[in-house]
Structure formats: structure tokens, C-alpha cells
């Protein structure tokens, strides 16, 4: 796995998502940027999806075994809600982040734990 390419792709996806969030639905560029984002997400999944799905299987098995595994792009940004094995009953999110590529388990507002780093 080319970790530099993965990190670059994650950074570009994050930038494009932030660009889309920064404009309103009424902005004439919204549809164009949204289409670019979807194309980038498709390419990302083609390039890194199989690898990240294997990582997610391991992460879920170790940290949130009762939660369904989603597509890797579902964990970008605010992440996906999961049921943490170590912190039952507490709100937990699994987040895919860049620089370096990693999955972070966020429990509550302040408890962050890197559960995988590329």
C-alpha cells in the first residue's frame, strides 16, 4: 500500500468536502463541486477501498465488534457512530483522518484514541 498516495487522497477528499460544506445549495457551483466530490470518492474507493475494508474489519473486531462495517468514505469528517466495546453506553465515533492516514476512536467530546495508523 502506498501510504503517501493514501494520505494525499484523504487530504484532497477532506478539502473537497470542506469546499462543498462552505457553500449553500443555491450556489451555482454546488452541483459541480458535489459531482467532483462523488467522482473523487469513487476513485478513492477503487484505489484504496479493499485495503481500508480489511483495516476496518480488524479495527471493528478489536474496538466495536457490534457495529456494522461501512464504506471507508463513511468514516471521513465527523466519522461514523459505533458501539465501542471498551466504552459501552457512551457515544463513540470512528473517524478516518489524514496526515498520517489513521482511524481514530472518539468517545465523548475529548477522548481520542488512534486505533490504526498507516
Q: What is the b/e burial string over 46-59, where b = at least 16 CB atoms within 10 angstroms of the residue's CB?
A: eebbeebeebbeeb
Instruction: Round to whole Å and give the CA distance between 37 and 55.
Output: 23
The percent of residues above 70 in pLDDT, for the chain, comes to: 100
Q: What does pTM read for this prediction?
A: 0.92
Instruction: Find the mean pLDDT for residues 8-12.
Output: 97
Helices 3-21 and 30-63 pack at an angle, to 10 degrees, of 130
Looking at the predicted structure, is the pLDDT value of residue 1 above 90? no
pLDDT by residue (tens digit) across 31-54?
A: 999 999 999 999 999 999 999 999
User: CB–CB of 106/93 below 8 Å?
Assistant: yes
User: CB–CB of 106/92 below 8 Å?
Assistant: yes
What phi and psi, each to the nearest 5 degrees, are found at residue 59?
Answer: -65, -45
pLDDT of 49 reads 97
pLDDT of 6 reads 97
Looking at the predicted structure, is the pLDDT value of residue 110 above 90? no
The percent of residues above 90 in pLDDT, for the chain, comes to: 93
Looking at the predicted structure, is the pLDDT value of residue 80 above 90? yes
Amino acid at each position: 500500500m502506498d501510504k503517501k498516495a493514501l494520505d494525499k487522497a484523504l487530504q484532497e477528499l477532506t478539502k473537497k468536502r470542506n469546499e462543498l460544506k462552505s457553500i449553500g445549495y443555491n450556489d451555482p457551483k454546488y452541483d459541480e463541486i458535489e459531482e467532483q466530490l462523488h467522482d473523487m470518492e469513487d476513485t478513492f474507493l477503487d484505489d484504496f477501498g479493499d485495503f481500508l475494508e480489511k483495516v476496518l474489519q480488524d479495527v471493528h473486531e478489536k474496538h466495536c465488534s457490534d457495529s456494522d462495517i461501512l464504506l471507508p468514505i463513511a468514516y471521513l469528517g465527523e466519522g461514523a457512530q459505533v458501539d465501542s466495546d471498551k466504552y459501552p453506553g457512551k457515544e463513540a465515533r470512528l473517524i478516518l483522518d489524514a496526515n498520517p492516514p489513521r482511524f481514530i476512536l472518539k468517545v465523548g467530546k475529548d477522548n481520542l484514541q488512534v486505533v490504526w495508523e498507516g
